[in-house]
Amino acid sequence: MIPEKLKSRKLALALVGCILPVLSAYLMEDVEMAEALKLAAVSICTYLVAQGLVDAKTMEGWVPPMIQGALLAAEPTSEPGEGDED
């Protein structure tokens, strides 16, 4: 699963988004280093949010086995005829 994420376009663009502002601040005087670091941080945060949304969509409807077992154990079981008051 991790090697797949290392090949993603989102990660490649996030890395470029981190490197370019810092590199341009280092090589040119047009961009302040503080602003470049802010842009790099925004790029990282955007990647994390986007990957989180993708992972959440992938895991939609999935329940961990431990919780699933607890939910099944907590379900009330009633036998036919119980609770029928006529």
Tell me the pLDDT tens digit for each residue of 52-64.
898 888 888 887 7
CA-CA distances (angstroms) from residue 14 to 3, 20, 69? 16, 10, 39
Q: Is residue 54 assigned to a domain?
A: yes
Integer-rounded Cα Rg, in Å, for the chain is 25
The tens digit of pLDDT for each residue in 35-86 reads 999 999 999 999 999 988 988 888 888 877 877 777 777 777 666 655 555 5
Count of domains observed in the chain: 1
Work out the burial of residue 20: count CB atoms within 10 Å of its CB; fewer than 13 is exposed, 13-18 middle, 19 or more buried.
middle
In a domain, 2, yes or no: no
Q: Do 20 and 10 touch, CB atoms closer than 8 A?
A: no
- Put simply, whether the predicted model's pTM sits higher than 0.75 gets the answer no
Task: Report which DSSP code applies to 86.
Answer: -
Residue 41 lies in a domain: yes
Q: Which residue range forms the structural domain that includes residue 48?
A: 32-59
Q: Give domain status of residue 73, yes or no.
A: no
